[in-house]
């Protein structure tokens, strides 16, 4: 059976997810249907999702070994550069869909199989290493701000845990949209870098100069009360992750008295990914990249993600 290099979850380790990562040989992808194609990978990026997978969140033992990775930029079978939309129709899943690396092998490999309809042309002038940041974290941030947060009707936005991939995306996009942006981070160095992106950086829990119309939440338990307290009447608190715990205490009096909307969201639609690519291309917005690491050092990339020191996206260069 033809084989390729890949980074995959070989077992689960909740306490030490890096110990569950294996880099080695896996079978070449076999498209499960006629309308699927194989993409030769050029660049990918890591997401917190990859650490959750190594911890066993969202996967079962029966699905192991599972190639990790949600994001991808590569070459289609005709040699054209493409961005891969990572959400795939999955009838057995209660959501009706799954993200690459959940049911179908992910993108941290030499090649990945996806439905041809998931391929979007790489915009002219956009580097593969930049575009590889967009399909998961940046798409999630885009939908949080636009479709869910209705940011067009907002003046101000708060982003919690601003050093993360989704969070830096939300800051950069909201600044590019001309909003007043506040962002919290536990780390003084990250707060300096957030300020350089055009946001007002604050320590977690700090009082804001004003209540905001949209809150971008990916941290969860550690920040949710602050998100509620910082929200203006009728504000939208949009939740796409819970890195620091998914069972916060919620003051319901504040929710109804201030008429707040708490909205859950996951990823985005293909149309939203087209919109995001066009917005970035037209406005010369580029992802906040922490580091670009060759695939041969993918373990180092995972260690950096796990350290919590990264600011923005960790990109994997498959051509280096
Ligand atoms: N639903 C979706 O479609 C979707 C898509 C992408 C991601 N997500 C979820 O969103 C979350 C963020 O993903 P990501 O890829 O942006 O992650 P990431 O790059 O690893 O960022 C996580 C960030 O959380 C912040 N944080 C604040 N308090 C924390 C605490 N007590 N413990 C750990 N981290 C804390 C940190 O910010 P500071 O260091 O600046 O404080 C850190 O930078 C994850 O839970 C992920 O599963 C969901």
| pLDDT reported for residue 215 | 98
Write out the E strands in the chain.
Answer: 3-9, 21-27, 36-45, 66-67, 73-75, 81-84, 87-89, 97-99, 111-115, 119-121, 156-159, 180-184, 200-202, 212-217, 231-239, 261-264, 289-294, 313-317
Q: Determine the distance separating the centroid of ligand 1 and the alpha carbon of 36, expressed in angstroms.
A: 31
* Per-residue pLDDT at 207 exceeds 90: yes
* Share of residues in the chain with pLDDT > 70 (%): 100
**Predicted confidence (pLDDT) per residue in 173-201, tens digit:** 999 999 999 999 999 999 999 999 999 99
Split at pLDDT 50, 70, 90, the class of 1 is: confident
Q: Determine the distance separating the centroid of ligand 1 and the alpha carbon of 49, expressed in angstroms.
A: 9
The best mutation among 53, 87, 161 to test binding of ligand 1, ranked by most ligand atoms within 8 Å of the C-beta, falls on 161
Split at pLDDT 50, 70, 90, the class of 110 is: very high
Give yes or no for a contact between 237 and 261, defined as CB atoms under 8 angstroms apart: yes
**Predicted confidence (pLDDT) per residue in 235-259, tens digit:** 999 999 999 999 999 999 999 999 9
The mean per-residue pLDDT over the stretch 53-82 comes to 97
| pLDDT reported for residue 75 | 98
* Per-residue pLDDT at 2 exceeds 90: no
| pLDDT reported for residue 19 | 98
Mean pLDDT of the chain: 97
Q: Determine the distance separating the centroid of ligand 1 and the alpha carbon of 215, expressed in angstroms.
A: 14
Per-residue burial over 11-20, b if 16 or more Cβ lie within 10 Å, else e, is ebeeeebeeb
Compute how many other C-beta atoms are within 10 angstroms of the C-beta atom of residue 319.
12
Distance CA 293, CA 299 (A): 10
| CA-closest residue to ligand 1 atom 43 | 164
pTM (predicted TM-score): 0.96
| pLDDT reported for residue 123 | 95
Distance CA 195, CA 190 (A): 9
Residue list, ligand 1 pocket, CB within 6 Å? 47-49, 52, 136-137, 140, 161-167, 185-187, 190, 218-219, 222, 240-244, 266-267, 305, 308
Split at pLDDT 50, 70, 90, the class of 307 is: very high
| Secondary element (H or E) of residue 275 | helix 270-283
């Amino acid at each position: 059976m033809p084989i390729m290099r890949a980074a995959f979850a070989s077992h689960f380790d909740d306490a030490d997810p890096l110990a569950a990562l294996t880099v080695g040989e896996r079978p070449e992808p076999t498209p499960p249907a006629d309308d699927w194609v194989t993409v030769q990978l050029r660049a990918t990026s890591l997401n917190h999702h990859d650490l959750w997978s190594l911890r066993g969140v969202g996967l079962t033992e029966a699905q192991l070994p599972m190639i990790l990775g949600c994001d991808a930029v590569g070459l289609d079978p005709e040699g054209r550069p493409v961005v891969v939309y990572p959400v795939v129709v999955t009838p057995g899943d209660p959501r009706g869909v799954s993200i690459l690396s959940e049911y179908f092998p992910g993108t941290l490999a030499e090649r990945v199989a996806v439905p041809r309809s998931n391929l979007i042309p790489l915009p002219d002038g956009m580097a593969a290493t930049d575009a590889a940041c967009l399909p998961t974290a940046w798409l999630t941030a885009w939908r949080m701000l636009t479709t869910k947060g209705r940011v067009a009707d907002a003046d101000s936005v708060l982003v919690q845990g601003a050093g993360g991939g989704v969070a830096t995306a939300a800051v950069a996009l909201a600044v590019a949209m001309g909003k007043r942006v506040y962002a919290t981070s536990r780390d003084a160095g990250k707060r300096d870098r957030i300020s350089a992106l055009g946001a007002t950086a604050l320590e977690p829990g700090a009082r804001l100069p004003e209540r905001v119309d949209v809150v971008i939440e990916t941290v969860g338990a550690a920040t949710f009360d602050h998100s509620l307290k910082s929200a203006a009447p009728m504000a939208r608190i949009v939740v796409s992750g819970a890195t620091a715990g998914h069972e916060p205490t919620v003051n319901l009096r504040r929710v109804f008295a201030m008429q707040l909307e708490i909205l859950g969201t996951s990823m985005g639609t293909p149309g939203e990914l087209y919109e995001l690519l066009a917005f970035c291309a037209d406005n010369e917005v580029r992802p906040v990249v922490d580091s670009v690491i060759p695939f041969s050092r993918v373990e180092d990339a995972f260690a950096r993600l796990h350290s919590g020191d990264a600011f923005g996206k960790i990109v994997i260069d498959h051509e280096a």
